[in-house]
A and B are shown apart, each in its own frame.
Chain A
Amino acid sequence: MNIFFTAIAIFAVTYIIIISEKIHRTVIALTGAALMILLGVLNQEKAIEGVDFNTLGLLIGMMIIVGIAKDCGMFQYVALWASKIGKGKPIPIFIMLCAITALFSALLDNVTTVLLIVPVIFVVANNLKLNPKPFLIGGILLSNIGGTATLIGDPPNILIGSAAKLSFNEFLINLAPISVLVSIITIGLLYLIYRKGMVTNKEAQEAIMKFKPEEAISDKKLLVKSLIVIGIVLLGFFTHTITHLEAATIALSGAALLLLLTMNDPEKHLKEVEWTSIFFFVGLFIVVTGLEQVGAIRIAAEKLLQLTGGNMTITTLSILWGSAVFSAVVDNIPFVATMIPLIKDIGAISGLSLGPIWWALALGADIGGNATIVGASANVVVSGMAEKEGHKIGFIEYMKLAVPMTFVAMIICTAYVYVRYLR
């Protein structure tokens, strides 16, 4: 019994400190992981078994590819091109930028997406002589919604896909339709809210029309190589069912190929991998494994099943909404990392079919993060960049808009999950 409480205590303290943000999340996750071993909950072998190297490999592979590819300017090109397509008119530009954010976010992780799109937003808004805030808020919302669509769009999806052995195509088939639907409705609502302020003069429109998007492309050779590798990687993901190659194999092979093609200095690009995030995952995996080892997760799963009466609809929808509420307040990665073994136990105990439950978890965790300015990493990054430029997005100011928007999105998700899987 001693070990049982030790594990729970380490887990609880680790998560409380992660939520409080008093200490860097990576440091505290690694400390928690070390304590799980040092205090005898796990031995080193068990701890390492708990680390999902497929998730880590996929993350690292994509980070290397995107880290090299983003230097060629293609993402900026597309965003600037979209502004031109909008004929320099604010509303079409706003809609195009939101849509492109969602699209990029489906292929890149959300933070990378906003780091690429926010500078473009500032430049376009300055040229249009408009307040960038609506564009920034649109960028936050759509990056999280777009990220829901694919296996690689948001880290919770990578975690779920790897643990539940769900392929890229399964994510696409099950989550892309709802991601597109929620994107369209969110953009529509944003249009209704902001359309009044979206007026500009002829001069500003002409400034946009003078854009030569091709000037944003800084390295054509790199662009071609990047597109080839991204194409091959996507093809690898699509054909998983035939080749049975794991996602990490595909992403890391793509990374190796791009390094080979560009003959770039690997040291620079490997340094650019977000190692703090990778080690955060490692720490979390071990902390959660400790909790699993002592049977605490199984007990939680039993309790949850008691509450829902083992009913499929109630269980799935509770997970959908529970995930959304949790992810609005806390980092969705530790939440999902804990829910994964719990859901597996639910499956083992009750025999419920887990498919819809995984989709509910992904939808809740990815979209729920939109509700507050601290709900997801992308939100925090955008608000930090906005504040530096004198466009601070207030906590309450953001919530007033984002909570109703997220609520609407979750209602749509509920209807989708119910109609598609539970009826």
Chain B
Amino acid sequence: MNQKKYIVKDYMQKQVATISKNATFKEAVEKMIHTKTNGLVVVNGNNQVIGIISSWDLIQHIVPDYLEEDRHLASFESPDVFEKRIQEVQDNPITKFMTMKVLTVMATDSIMEASTLLSEFRIRQLPVVNDEKKLVGYINRTDIKRAVGEALGISFVF
């Protein structure tokens, strides 16, 4: 039996939803809705990964710190605060609330390595980069699941 190599390149998605580092909160929401994703890779002009932004980051940015400090107060908060906060933050640059420390993998890395990062840091996705740190793909839990399925000999019927 010839050993199958589980390499990131074979499972990653080449189409990645990205957003420029100069984008605003509103533009990030727009892009996420249009591309139907919950995660965007933030890139600079050279297509290098400088951050990652998820719908979770957006939600966290909307909730004011004082409610996070004291979550049982949320039920007392005036209902108009939700919309007011969104109006307030819509023009904030995404660099203000994106995750800056991004873990990445290379296309030649093993799926085990990618899985280890996902598992250790409890994250959902990893941008795939080349030697120059430029974005070449994207691998998430669904892609890993596909590799697991293959290893178990489960056939895919779409």
Contacts and interface: CB of A to CB of B under 8 A. Distances in A.
A73 B66 contact: no
Interface string B100-140: 00000000000000000000000000000000000000000
Contacts of A116: 70
Contacts of A129: 78
Contact of A215 (B66, B75, B80): B75
Given A76-B72, A216-B72, A390-B88, A385 B66 contact: yes
B65 to A, nearest CB: 5
A217 to B, nearest CB: 8
The CB with the most chain B CB atoms within 10 A, among A116, A123, A126, A388, is that of A123
A389 B65 CA distance: 8
Contacts, number: 48
A207 B73 contact: no
Interface in B16-49: none
B46 to A, nearest CB: 33
A192 B72 CA distance: 33
Contact of B66 (A118, A127, A216, A218): A118
Contacts of A23: none
Given A73-B72, A216-B73, A123 B65 contact: no
B148 interface: no
B69 to A, nearest CB: 5
Interface in B55-76: 64-67, 69-70, 72-73, 75-76
Interface of A: 73, 76, 80, 115-116, 118-120, 122-123, 126-127, 129, 207, 211, 215-216, 218, 385, 388-390
22 contacts: A76-B70, A115-B69, A116-B70, A119-B67, A119-B69, A119-B70, A120-B73, A122-B66, A123-B67, A123-B76, A126-B78, A126-B81, A127-B77, A127-B78, A129-B78, A215-B76, A216-B72, A216-B73, A216-B76, A385-B65, A388-B64, A389-B66
Interface of B: 64-67, 69-70, 72-73, 75-78, 80-81, 88
